[in-house]
Amino acid sequence: MRIALLTTGGTIAMRASDKGGNLGAPPPFVEMLARVLPEARITLIPVLSRPSAGFSIADIAAIAKAAEDAAASHDGVVITHGTDVLEETAFALELLTRTDTPIVVTGAMRLANQPSADGDANLIAACRVAGSAAARGKGVLVVFDDEIHWAPLARKRHAFRTHAFSSEPFGPLGWVVEGRVRFMLRPEQRLPRLSWGGRETVVPILEAGPGLEPQLVKNFPKCDALVLALPGAGHVADTVPAILEAMPMPVIFASRTGAGETLTHSYGYAGGEMDLIARGLIPAGPLDARHARIALAILLSNGAAKKDIAAFFGDL
């Protein structure tokens, strides 16, 4: 099997020192894989070498381009990535790439020279999945701690333990055990294909809760679009809808619960989702605020207008 191994940095490529974990010389991934998976022919493609929290959307788009290019000439693509924003990159890859070749993202929670470091095991499992016929056509996958997650469902749910990723409330598509790749589920749908237009924009997330200050919303800094993470299925205090309606940029609201989707015609009170939609706000549907923000940044990179944004979220 021909595997393209794209490296981008992150803990999987870091070593502990008396100054804390940091990136240094590239880790010997190819030599390790040659020992454990002699059947794999690995092409190493360094893309970035940074902690992931500092990635821009343009960086993520560059990873997507490198992955799609590599997919054309390999059986599978594996991307090593910092775990901090791995879920955003994996989601963006699902939007920005279209290929039956498996694209698998992985990383590590422990530094390479720490006891029981998990990086090698995750990388080996990711290569097995990327090279398996069963993974073809299933979209972008996240392989972590022997589980296989569909990228749009995978989220980092723990700050330090090795079982850091989860697809709750659904669950992983499958797992890797005794070197075997087993899928139990497959994604029912693919997300719409988007392209990166090159324009970088400012798309913040504002999470609302009890006591949200109308003054803060009123004085919110200028940006290209605003994503609201709202309680429940998309509800906010009755003091802010008129302020939100007057904002000059597109305002998208997502549920802050992390599951389900925004409602559209259940609650009609001031600040309920029906009120927000009537005032021109756009419900994010099944996307959470983080994913909505990534989709918006990609849409806006091509100069999408509010109607294009509404059409994208309306079609999900």
Question: In terms of CB distance, is 52 or 132 closer to ligand ASP?
Answer: 52
Contact criterion met (CB below 8 Å) for 107 and 86: yes
Q: Is 106 a catalytic residue?
A: no
Least separation in angstroms between CB 113 and ligand ASP: 15
Contact criterion met (CB below 8 Å) for 146 and 46: no
By CB under 6 A, tell whether 80 contacts ligand ASP: no
Least separation in angstroms between CB 156 and ligand ASP: 8
Count of residues interacting with ligand ASP (CB under 6 A): 11
Of 8-16, 60-68, 232-240, 293-301, which part binds ligand ASP (CB under 6 A)? 8-16
Tokens 């609650």 correspond to 267
What does each C-alpha distance from 41 to 77, 102, 195, 282 come to in angstroms? 12, 15, 30, 47
In the bound state, the residue with its beta carbon closest to ligand ASP is: 82
Q: Residue 166 has which token pair? A: 């989860």
Residue 7 pairs in a beta bridge with 46, 80
Contact criterion met (CB below 8 Å) for 130 and 161: no
- For ligand ASP, the binding residue among 3, 6, 11, 173 (CB under 6 A) is 11
Of 9-17, 127-135, 145-153, 274-282, which part binds ligand ASP (CB under 6 A)? 9-17
Of 81-89, 133-141, 197-205, 300-308, which part binds ligand ASP (CB under 6 A)? 81-89
Label the pairing between strands 165-166 and 155-156.
Answer: antiparallel
Three-state DSSP class for residue 32: helix
- Of residues 166, 90, 162, the one with CA closest to residue 119: 162
| Contact set for ligand ASP, span 86-145 (CB under 6 A) | 107, 109
Distance, in Å, from the CA atom of 91 to the CA atom of 156, rounded to the nearest integer, reads 12
By CB under 6 A, tell whether 172 contacts ligand ASP: no
Catalytic residue among 11, 83, 101, 262: 11
By CB under 6 A, tell whether 24 contacts ligand ASP: no
Residue 67, phi then psi, degrees to nearest 5? -65, -45
Q: Residue 171 has which token pair? A: 């669950």
Question: In terms of CB distance, is 84 or 120 closer to ligand ASP?
Answer: 84
Q: Per-residue x/- marks for ligand ASP, 46-65, CB under 6 A?
A: -----xxx------------
Tokens 């259940």 correspond to 266
Question: In terms of CB distance, is 84 or 261 closer to ligand ASP?
Answer: 84
Please enumerate in sequence order all residues whose Cβ is within 8 A of that of 15, keeping only pairs 6 or more positions apart, or say none.
Answer: 21, 22, 24, 111, 112, 113
- For ligand ASP, the binding residue among 84, 146, 224, 245 (CB under 6 A) is 84
- Which positions touch ligand ASP (CB under 6 A)? 9-11, 51-53, 82-84, 107, 109
Cite the active site residues: 11
